Amino acid sequence: MNTASKKEQNIILSIHDVTNRFGKQVVHDAVSFDIRRGEIIGIVGGSGSGKSVLLKTMTGLRKPDKGEITIMGKPINQITSLESASLLGVLFQEGALFSSLTVTENITLPLREYTKLNKDQQSVLAQLKLALVGMPAESGNKYPAELSGGMTRRAALARALAMDPVMLFLDEPTSALDPINASLFDELILNLNRAMGITVVMATHDLDTIFTVCDRIAVLVDSKIIVDTLPNLLKHNNPWIRKFLHSPRAKGASVAANDYSGGIHGN
């Protein structure tokens, strides 16, 4: 097998010439890039750059105005809802748990929708997912309002993992979390990626997450996208990238990342 064929096999999701606009405002202008199997890729950009919009487009929640997205070689508009649930797990901002359901009921919601498992089997799987995200078994009986911010994110992550998806999409997963819980969540994502090989795509502005977790960074700037490893982006001459990655806060995140992992990692 030649190198080109290996690279193609390694691509799990492909974005080709995607344009998103709201009225006359073009948010994404013919954006193209590939996501590789097993990587953690962060999507960053300034306010209004369309991080969440791109995430919704990649998961099929928003149809692009132009362009195509394929998942494992299949156009996203040809993927059934069952296939989508098995391929893509999504963690929305703030968790988006149903307040009237217990944590276990939230986790089993996709299982009830897409599988023929009985209630007992669903409950067992919910307990396994809770354990996977580091939550105690008894938390399954609680309602979202009874959880802390960090536990709410973990419960929402357990729901996103209910169908054992191939890819995990996270929208600002550490926003509004205190530094300790944000770091613990970063560590959880790394462990899931390493243990399960799950591909992770996250929209984030958290510099600690960017420096500690991500293999590559997709930067949305001027309606275009620049995708590269962090070490390469640190040498990039784009003004916004330089301002973002060389700020005092970014330097602090870089030091913390080096202390955590022994160095910034890239592909």
**Model confidence over 219-240: pLDDT tens digits?**
999 999 999 999 999 999 999 9
| pLDDT recorded at residue 74 | 93
pLDDT in tens, 90-106: 998 766 889 999 999 99
| pLDDT recorded at residue 145 | 92
pLDDT in tens, 119-132: 999 999 999 999 99
Determine contact, residues 233/211, Cβ cutoff 8 Å: no
φ, ψ of residue 111 in degrees (nearest 5): -70, -40
| pLDDT recorded at residue 250 | 65
pLDDT in tens, 213-223: 999 999 999 99
| 15 pLDDT tier (thresholds 50, 70, 90) | very high
| 261 pLDDT tier (thresholds 50, 70, 90) | low
- Greater model confidence, 204 or 259: 204
Domain spans of the chain, in order of start: 89-164
Pairing relationship of beta strands 40-45 and 199-203 according to DSSP bridges: parallel
Determine contact, residues 40/193, Cβ cutoff 8 Å: yes
Could you tell me which of 62, 68, 76, 265 has the C-alpha nearest to residue 167? 76
pLDDT in tens, 71-89: 999 999 999 988 998 899 9
Does pLDDT of 65 surpass 90? yes
50 conformational bin, left if phi > 0, alpha if psi -120 to 50, beta if neither: left
The whole-angstrom separation of Cα 139 and Cα 125 is: 14
Could you tell me which of 141, 217, 148 has the C-alpha nearest to residue 178? 148
Average pLDDT, the chain: 87
pTM of the entire predicted model: 0.87
Does pLDDT of 265 surpass 50? no
Determine contact, residues 214/40, Cβ cutoff 8 Å: yes
What's the rounded mean pLDDT across residues 46-68?
92
| pLDDT recorded at residue 257 | 57
Does pLDDT of 200 surpass 60? yes
CA distances from 214 to 55, 200, 203 (A): 16, 9, 11
